[in-house]
Amino acid sequence: MFRRSNSSSRILNISSRLGSINKMKNPTMKEMLLSENLSEEQIEGMVNTFLENVKKGTWKSQGWPEIWTDYAVSKLAINAYSRVLARRYKDCGICVNCFCPGFTQTSMTRGKGTHTAADAAEVGARLALLPPHELQTGKFYIGFSPGIVSKL
Ligand SMILES: NC(=O)c1ccc[n+]([C@@H]2O[C@H](COP(=O)([O-])OP(=O)(O)OC[C@H]3O[C@@H](n4cnc5c(N)ncnc54)[C@H](OP(=O)(O)O)[C@@H]3O)[C@@H](O)[C@H]2O)c1
């Protein structure tokens, strides 16, 4: 359990632009993910459908993200879940956002990347600690340009 802040509580999920909605080509899934009434059950359903497609060997033709597919589906799910939480807690003083650190030199990238993990952590920490008057909810922050922010 996290302690609620007196002003605004915040959740910042570390995500990736590989999980952006435009990476999903399956029209039914896309429509569901963009629905105002999206639920946790539907997100779980999406992930289970992906796993079924993988088991059956049909995933390539089903419109799932093409790059780093399994990773991208996990990030689609975290983005979608963040969207659900942001809507649910909008009027309760809880802000829920996602942050993509960009191509960062870590174990995941075998040390490749345009910047260090410390640089990415600094941006993430700044976003996590935004003053209440700058705090938004349901947003997707990308990399190192503080101006690049889109709807989740
Ligand atoms: N690096 C990039 O270019 C990049 C780009 C976009 C987004 N991201 C996101 O940034 C975040 C950090 O990635 P990274 O590049 O730092 O990856 P990483 O080098 O692979 O580090 C991942 C960290 O997560 C921990 N971890 C993995 N599974 C876990 C589990 N089940 N429970 C607890 N800890 C677990 C690992 O712990 P151990 O060391 O103990 O295994 C490791 O410390 C991830 O969410 C990633 O998707 C990274």
What pLDDT does 146 receive? 59
**pTM of the model as a whole:** 0.93
d(CA 118, CA 95): 24
Query: Does residue 1 have a pLDDT over 70?
Result: no
d(CA 72, CA 28): 17
Query: pLDDT above 90 covers what percent of the chain?
Result: 82
- Residue among 70, 76, 106, 114 whose CB has most ligand 1 atoms within 8 A, to mutate: 106
The candidate with the shortest Cα–Cα distance to 13, out of 143, 140, 147, 145, is 140
What CATH number is given to the structural domain containing 104? 3.40.50.720
DSSP string covering 55-104? HHT-GGGTT--SSSHHHHHHHHHHHHHHHHHHHHTGGGTEEEEEEE--SE
Active-site amino acid positions? 71
> Is residue 101 domain-resident?
yes
Pocket of ligand 1 contains residue 107 by CB under 6 Å? yes
Indicate the average pLDDT of the chain.
Answer: 92
User: Which tokens in the block code for residue 46?
Assistant: 């999406």
Distance CA(134)–CA(116), nearest Å, equals: 26
pLDDT tens figures, 71-102: 999 999 999 999 999 999 999 989 999 999 99
Residue nearest to atom 11 of ligand 1 (CA): 14
Domain of residue 52, residue span? 9-151
Whether residue 1 is contained in a domain is answered as: no
pLDDT at 18: 95
Q: Total domain count for the chain?
A: 1
